[in-house]
Chains A and B, each alone.
Chain A
């Protein structure tokens, strides 16, 4: 596991110039823009970069050799989910610090303590993107998975549009859900959200493991 994390970290650092540009952009946005955009931006970026290490593994027939190294297929999957989480968490921390510094510089008067639960909610939600991308990338490869992801988000957009038309006014269950959440304390909402995301990520992990166990190299 440690060797795999080392590999992914070093593969990520091979793109350090691109990462540096993203970081400078984030720094500028963090200082100039309001709100939590910077936290979400950095977290999702780090997640995409982390999932991208699968493309490096796949490139040039690399999986064949990789699977001769001393770990089993389950460990490979575990490491990918862990690495994505570590990257997302690290980016979230940097983003949050930048966000707070931005608030201080702008003297926006927003309380850091008040904003923290909302920022914390971004991490599990954005980590879900890794939980969607990892199994797709393993199953369809880096190129095809982009098409599948595009189709998936298209289908979700159509579904949301349909749901918006069907459920209107007081009938809308989403509005009722939002009202219920409004009435709960931020800590309970955060815990519930984290729990739901953790369950979804675990389901994704099981799916990825299944894909990997069936794969031939």
Chain B
């Protein structure tokens, strides 16, 4: 019995350490001087170089990249949530063949190797005049995110009892209202999961902005990191300072989501 009780905390402790060591490396490297990094790459910095953060911020024009990253990530994620949750609802409720087929169709989107689709995609965006437009990148991210989000939403809509909808319909509630007012709030934890996972991916991706936005003014945060790289050597101190700065908005987002969304459920909303 005691072993059982200690098991989970032990796992948590071990994994905390596994996460901590690289975290320590990131933070200490961001605070080192070049000489420090040469002579003792793994130890605590001999003097804390907070100036690295300022340098990273100004040299890579991070303020500007931040706005771009936020714009792209927020719009894409909102689109993904709206489009996928709506699409998932009928897919979860209908039992006909077309529903199953459409479900697999959406699911297949997670499976395709995307790297090679770049050339046709580029031609498509060019034809639509979306090269060098935020809209282009946002549409690609949305299309990529929909698969997984639909998959997640379908699985969880199935756990929502049908009685809830039936009683709402008797009250004369239209389907769109029914969906947004009654059902959507019930699956908040899933929405927060979809938001977290997609923002992680979109926030950290630099390939799509690099290929489709191709304009210094439209750079996002990860693309700005490359300011500090060159053919043979990279300025790791500034890269890590920028990495730390760049991850702050996401950390903030997670904390907020944890607080508002997940707590909302625990306080009994599910009893419906």
- Whether A and B are associated in the same complex: the answer reads no
> Which B residues contact A (CB, under 8 angstroms)?
none
> Which A residues contact B (CB, under 8 angstroms)?
none
